[in-house]
Amino acid sequence: MVLGTDSYTIIGFRFLTGSAFILRFSRGNMQFKAGQRIIVGLKGDFDQREYSIYSGEQDDYLEILVRGIIDGNVSLKLKQAKPGQSLQINGPFGSFGIEGFVRDSGKHIFIATGTGISPFHSMVRSYPAIDYMLIHGVRFRNEAYENSDYAAGRYILCTSEESHEGKKGRVTVFLSHYKLSPEMLFYLCGNGNMIYDVYHILRDRGIPAEKIFSEIYF
């Protein structure tokens, strides 16, 4: 696997909400596995942050999903950057992802909160033939980031702050009543509280620990 440690050039932005955006930049010779993360910062800047890769393994560019926060030094600097500006990238890192031997045989249940959807977007884009369901927990409906990228019937939106299709609630509420089957494998990515709660819901419902994989966002 080729590690990226050189500078990369910003290609452009897609703004999804007032604070969230997709940052696209040149890929260089980096090779990665869907689900991995990279460390990103402006070239020559001390501030850097980890982001899961949003783009697919076959894309000729790299993308990350960024949500700008008031005290987020890196996210605000990235939001204010311009096409043509250079980034410093390190990675990829991590083992979160779908193992090849179960890619075509299992039913993959992706459970994300907020920008924790990033590695699952990469997985779906990289392996379009997989059998998956994506359960995405957000506060508001406009945070269903690029949900049209997922096949019809494979994306479930859970909103905690406003009603969506007559329903309102967190992913934990939805999952408590979701029909489970033995061939399911569960992948969790998002804030630590969600992962803790979902893990225990799944274990209480009889899912063995070896079928649950997680990546925590801070």
Place of tokens 């980096």: 30
Q: What is the C-alpha radius of gyration for the chain, rounded to an integer number of angstroms?
A: 17
Q: pLDDT of 25-43, one tens digit each?
A: 999 999 999 999 999 999 9
Q: What is the pLDDT of residues 100-109, one digit of tens each?
A: 888 888 899 9
Where are the CATH 3.40.50.80 domain residues in the chain?
A: 100-217
Instruction: Indicate the CATH number of 100-217 among 2.30.110.10, 3.40.50.12160, 3.40.50.80, 3.10.450.30.
Output: 3.40.50.80
- pTM (predicted TM-score): 0.93
pLDDT value at residue 72:
74
Q: Residue 74: CB partners within 8 Å, gap ≥ 6?
A: 40, 41, 47, 48, 49
Return the CATH number of the domain spanning residue range 7-93: 2.40.30.10
C-alpha separations of 188 from 4, 49, 78, 127, 196 in Å: 26, 20, 26, 18, 10
As annotated, the residues of the chain forming the CATH 2.40.30.10 domain(s) are: 7-93
pLDDT at 1 over 60: no
For residues 6, 115, 35, 188, the Cα torsion angle rounded to the nearest 10 degrees is: 150
The pLDDT > 70 percentage for the chain reads 95
The SS3 of residue 195 is: helix
- The pLDDT tens digits of the residues spanning 110-132 come to 999 999 999 999 999 999 999 99
pLDDT in tens, 145-156: 999 999 999 999
